[in-house]
Amino acid sequence: MHSKSRLPLQASSDSPLHLYVHIPFCIHKCAYCDFNSHVRETPPWDEYRRALLAELTHWSRQAQFSGRRIATVFFGGGTPSLSPAGLISEVLQQAGKLFGFDADAEISMEANPGTVEAGRFAAFRGAGVNRLSIGVQSFNDAELQWLERIHSAQQATQAFASARSAGFDNISIDLMYGLPGQSLSDWLKNLDTAIALAPEHLSCYQLTVEAHTELALRHQRSPLSLPEEDEALEFLLRTRSRLSEAGYHAYEVSNFARPDRYCRHNDAYWLYHDYIGIGAGAAGKWDTADGGITRYSNIRSPEAYMRSSLDRAEAINTSETLPREKAAGEAVWLGLRRSAGVSQEYFRHRFGRGVNDLFAAALQPWEASGHLHITPEYVQLTEKGLGMADSIAVSVLTD
């Protein structure tokens, strides 16, 4: 995506810029969820829309984003598909006016497969959304009930058909594996149901018990039967081989796409590109002149976020600047998730030294144990290394 023979040390006006828009409202809080999602009987849509627009205007005036066009937008949540289409449309129009879009800009939205949301897909398409990521999670009703999802398997299939009828030719399906008691064959049945719908993209994540969630409390009271590390790796490897047979390329550890249909927005995070985040709890990041980065994250409570954005046009809760060496560690951590790995040329140009030069002590043991493949061009995870991506990242980040 947007490949350049030389990548600038500091972002310039032709560096791709990405926009994340967080919509924090949900109908129900799922027990496993650690996203910034909040149940509100009647979400304050008008106030939230005004807060988003104020924040967008603020960021368009910052020097680091001046003159840069937006390559991708991602509406995430929460449940963005609960939003009135007018809110989505206004945010996109304002972003177009303030920044401008690349001609082939990717505009994604996360959608839940409830009937209300599916009825709005055509309006979202009309507002400019051109990629839908449907949070199906499972095609098994018992699993959906355990996950506390408010849709059924049949509604998920219908939502997919509605998205196609609404004109979406770029659809992703999100699925989750490793549920308590789920066998490998149960999981592969889910996967095959998804493949039969012929989406352009699939994201397949393992269920994890995140701290401070309702599920974590339940797990503490009565431990859930979850897959051990080697079983989880088996799920992942079988997923990769099944999807590969069906023509999907594993371009990231958990993400699979038809040729040219990978999610350019998420790929931008793994490539360590710059992005603006607007909305409650959203985060942003940009490269600094000395080779480091600055990043921020917003106030998480929707009400406090709106007050701040409407009063001061920004809602930053925390921000920090990382020096070049720390930023380099993050770039390796993120880049290793991509099948293509971390490009040595990009790295030398962006950080002034090769990946091996900077992180030899951390990377060599992983190469010796067969978890990493290091060439003069790339540093990549091997198949054996896929299940160890997080541990390898920790060793780089603490090197």
Binding site for ligand SF4 (CB under 6 A): 26, 29-30, 33, 35, 37, 77-79, 112
Query: Cα angle at 167 between 162 and 170, to 5 degrees?
Result: 95
Smallest distance, Å, CB 283 to ligand SF4?
A: 16
Contacting residues for 101 by C-beta, under 8 A, at least 6 apart: 69, 70, 71, 95
The order of strands in the sheet holding 171-177 is 249-252, 255-257, 201-206, 171-177, 131-137, 101-111, 70-77, 17-23, 274-278, 283-287, 293-298, 316-322
Please give the backbone phi and psi of residue 89, each rounded to the nearest 5 degrees, phi first. -60, -45
28 contacts 40 by C-beta, under 8 angstroms: no
Residue 321: closest CA among 344, 299, 339, 296: 296
Nearer to ligand SF4, 150 or 340 (CB): 150
N-term to C-term CA, the chain: 30
Report the largest interatomic distance among the alpha carbons of the chain, rounded to a whole angstrom: 57
Nearer to ligand SF4, 78 or 227 (CB): 78
Using alpha carbons, list the distances in angstroms from residue 247 to 195, 198, 202, 250, 259.
10, 10, 12, 10, 8
Q: What is the CA radius of gyration of the chain?
A: 21
Smallest distance, Å, CB 54 to ligand SF4?
A: 24
Nearer to ligand SF4, 37 or 344 (CB): 37
Q: Is the peptide bond before 78 cis (omega within 30 degrees of 0)?
A: yes
Nearer to ligand SF4, 79 or 133 (CB): 79
Residue with the two structure tokens 């980040």: 397
Smallest distance, Å, CB 148 to ligand SF4?
A: 7
Nearer to ligand SF4, 213 or 343 (CB): 213
Alpha-carbon span 187 to 81, nearest angstrom: 27
Smallest distance, Å, CB 184 to ligand SF4?
A: 24
Smallest distance, Å, CB 257 to ligand SF4?
A: 22
**Chain position whose Cβ is nearest to ligand SF4:** 33
Smallest distance, Å, CB 190 to ligand SF4?
A: 17
Smallest distance, Å, CB 30 to ligand SF4?
A: 3
Both structure tokens of 51: 């807060």
Alpha carbon 252 to its chain centroid, in Å, reads: 11
Smallest distance, Å, CB 135 to ligand SF4?
A: 6
Q: Is the peptide bond before 126 cis (omega within 30 degrees of 0)?
A: no
Nearer to ligand SF4, 77 or 281 (CB): 77
Nearer to ligand SF4, 280 or 392 (CB): 280
Nearer to ligand SF4, 26 or 109 (CB): 26
Nearer to ligand SF4, 43 or 77 (CB): 77
Smallest distance, Å, CB 31 to ligand SF4?
A: 9
Alpha-carbon span 298 to 275, nearest angstrom: 14
Nearer to ligand SF4, 39 or 361 (CB): 39
Alpha-carbon span 48 to 278, nearest angstrom: 11
Q: Which residues pair with 143 in a beta bridge?
A: none
Smallest distance, Å, CB 33 to ligand SF4?
A: 3
Alpha-carbon span 136 to 113, nearest angstrom: 7
